[in-house]
Amino acid sequence: MGELRSHKITANRIAKKYNTAYISDKGVDIVIKKVKVEVETEGNVKSGMQQLKGCKGRVYIAGVNQKTVSEALEKTKNTTIGVMDNQGNIKKRSTRKL
């Protein structure tokens, strides 16, 4: 299945906000110095969390819409994974050690 338009738009928007590039291969979507962001669509938050497993530094799931952000906030409770909205605004800070 091809990449969803909402995923691509969100990833590019966040990458631009943080002055970096969106990488659409198999790895983490956005890398900003010691921060990694995985953009996810509704129902895919768990796979995003798996993608970030083992990553060093601050890690975030970015939801493409409010429903996905709410899902991410619920699923990342009691974890070191942070959550961003589709504008790149932090809704829950990552507590993972740098």
Burial string for 31-41 (b: 16+ CB within 10 Å, else e) reads bbeebbbbbbb
- How many C-alpha atoms does 16 have within 13 Å on its Cβ side? 8
Write out pLDDT tens, residues 45-89. Answer: 999 999 999 899 999 999 999 999 999 999 999 999 999 999 999
Q: Residue 49 in contact with residue 80, Cβ under 8 Å?
A: no
Q: How far apart are CA 76 and CA 80, in angstroms?
A: 8
The pLDDT of residue 66 is: 97
φ and ψ of 67, to 5 deg: -65, -40
Band (pLDDT 50/70/90 cuts) for residue 1 is very low
Residue 4's pLDDT is 87
